[in-house]
Amino acid sequence: MPNVLANRTYRHLFAAQVVALIGSGLLTVALGLLAYWLAGADAGAVLGTALAVKMVAYVLVAPVAQAFTSRLPRRAFLVATDLVRAGVALALPFIDQVWQVYVLIAVLQSASAAFTPAFQATIPDILPDERDYTRALSLSRLAYDLENLLSPALAALLLTVIDFHGLFAGTIVGFLGSAALVVTTTLPTPSAPTRRSGIYERTTRGLRIYLATPRLRGLLALNLAVAAAGAMVIVNTVVLVQALLKRPQDDVAVALGLFGGGSMVAALLLPRVLDRLSDRAVMIPSAALLGLVLLGFAEVSWTNGFGWVALLGTWLVLGIGYSAAQTPTGRLLRRSVSAEDRPALFAAQFALSHAAWLVTYPLAGWLGATVGMPATAAALGLVTLAATAAALLLWPSEDPETVEHAHPELAPSHPHLATAHGHRHAHAYVIDDLHHHWPSGRPG
C-alpha cells in the first residue's frame, strides 16, 4: 500500500476521494435531519424518494454524461463536477419545500454520476502496473468503509456544537477540498478518439462492450448478487436492531460498523490474495458466501429467534464477502477494454451496478415489511445464490487475455493484420471497432 501512495498524482487523487467521501457522509446525516425538519413523521418517505432519485440519476446519467464529456480535459471536468456538488450543498440549508430537496438531490447525484466513473477510469492510467492498481482498489474500498464508520461519528460530534444546517458546511468543504486536490495533479491525457460517432453510439458504446464480453456478463450477475446481500444489511439493520431486538439506536451503528469492519479486513487482505488467485476464483466464491450466510441467518432466526451476537457475527462475515466480491471489479474492467473506451465501460458498470441496487433496495424493504425478516433474509439469499450461479455459467473458467482469432473480413493490407502477422493471430482481445464479437468457441 505505501508504494502506491508514493505516486504523487495517485496520492492527491486518493486524498481527494477521502475528503469528498467525508463530505458526502456529512451530507447523508444532514439530509436525514433536513427531511425530518421539513416533513416530520413523513421524513422516511422523503428520504426514500430522495434515495430513488439518486439511483435513477446514477443509472441514467452516467452513460450519457460520459458520451458528452469523454473528450474533455479530465482535470477540468473533475474539478467542475466537484464545484457543482459544492454549489448544491451550499443551497440545501436554505430550502423550505420538500420538492426542492428532490430537485437539488437530482442535480447533486447527476454530478456524482458524471464524476465517479471518470475518476475511476483515470486511476488505471496513473497506475498501469497490475499490482499497484490492485492495491489502489483496496485503498478505495477502505476509504468507503472508513467513511461509513467515521462520518456518522464526526456528524454526531459536530451536532453537539452546531445546528444540523452547519453540517452542510462540512459537505461544502469536502467537495471544495476534493477540487483543490485534483487541481494539484497532472492527469494523463485521454486516448484520442479514433472514430467519428454520434451521441447514440457514444452513449451506448460502454454497454455494448460490456454485454459482448463474457467475463463482464458474469460481472453483471455478480452486481445483482452483491446488491441483494448488501440491501439486506443497509435497509433492514435498523429494523432488526430496534424493532425486533429492542436495542438502543447506538447499536444500529455497532451492527453497521461490524459490516464495515469485515469489509475493511477483506480489503486489506485482497492484494496478497489476488497476487495468487484469479479475479474469478475470488469473486464468485465470495458472492456464494453471501448467499449461504443469508440462508444460514434465516434458518437460525426461524429456529432460535433473533440474537444480537448472531446478528453481529453474520454482519461481519457479510462484510468480508461483500468486499471480496466487489473490490476486484476495477481489475476486471481494465483488462476488458482499450484505454480509449475505458471511460465508457466504467460508466456502464456504474450504471448497471446501481440498477441492481435500484431493484434490491425496494425489494428488501417490501419483503421485510410484509413477510418478516427470516423470510426476507432467505429470499435475498436465494437471489444472491441464483445470481452467483448465473455468473458461474456466464464467466468461463478459462479466461485468458490473449485469444486466438481470425479476420477474414479484412484485406491483407489492413494495418491491423500487418501488426498482428496474418489473418489468424492472437493478442490481448477486447471488443472494439475491429473486434465486434467474442470469438465463438473460445472463453472470454
The residue ranges of the chain whose pLDDT is under 70 are 1-2, 41, 43-45, 47-48, 70, 149, 152-153, 156, 190-197, 249, 419-422, 441-444
**pLDDT (0 to 100) of residue 15:** 93
Note whether 319 and 16 are within 8 A (CB): no
The pLDDT of residue 95: 87
pLDDT of residue 11: 93
pLDDT at 438: 86
Q: Which of 8, 5, 21 is nearest to 152 (CA)?
A: 21
d(Cα 215, Cα 249) in Å, to the nearest integer? Answer: 42
Q: Which fold has domain 200-395?
A: Growth Hormone; Chain: A; (1.20.1250)
| Residue 379: partners with Cβ closer than 8 Å, 6 or more residues away | 367, 371
Length of the chain counted residue by residue = 444
Cell numbers standing for residue 360: 434490491
Is there a shared CATH topology between the 1-137+148-188 domain and the 200-395 domain? yes
**Could you give the CA distance from residue 350 to residue 115 in angstroms, rounded to a whole number?**
11
Q: How far apart are CA 242 and CA 386, in angstroms?
A: 30
Determine the pLDDT at residue 443: 44
Cα 426 from Cα 416, distance rounded (Å): 12
Report d(CA 145, CA 161) in Å as an integer. Answer: 26
Cell numbers that stand for 359 in this block: 431493484
Q: Which residues pair with 425 in a beta bridge?
A: 405
| Sign of the alpha-carbon dihedral angle for 3, 5, 10, 14 | positive
Query: Residue 191: which of 42, 338, 82 has the closest Cα?
Result: 338
Do the beta carbons of residue 332 and residue 279 sit within 8 Å? Answer: yes
Non-local CB neighbours of 295 within 8 Å, separated by 6+ positions: 377, 378, 381, 382, 385
What is the pLDDT at residue 444?
41
DSSP string, 343-398: HHHHHHHHHHHHHHHHHHHHHHHHHHHHT-HHHHHHHHHHHHHHHHHHHHHHS-S-
Give the pLDDT score at 425: 80
Residue 401 and residue 232: Cα distance in Å, rounded? 35
Domain 1-137+148-188: state its class. Answer: mainly alpha
Rounded-to-integer distance, Cα 346 and Cα 340, Å: 12
430 alpha carbon, distance to own chain's centre? 23
The full set of domain ranges for the chain reads 1-137+148-188, 200-395
213 within 8 A of 438, measured Cβ to Cβ: yes
User: d(Cα 344, Cα 140) in Å, to the nearest integer?
Assistant: 20
Render pLDDT for 222-248 as a digit per residue (tens, 0 to 9).
Answer: 999 999 999 999 888 888 888 888 888
Q: CA 252 to CA 248: how far, in whole Å?
A: 8
- Determine contact, residues 443/400, Cβ cutoff 8 Å: yes
pTM of the model: 0.85
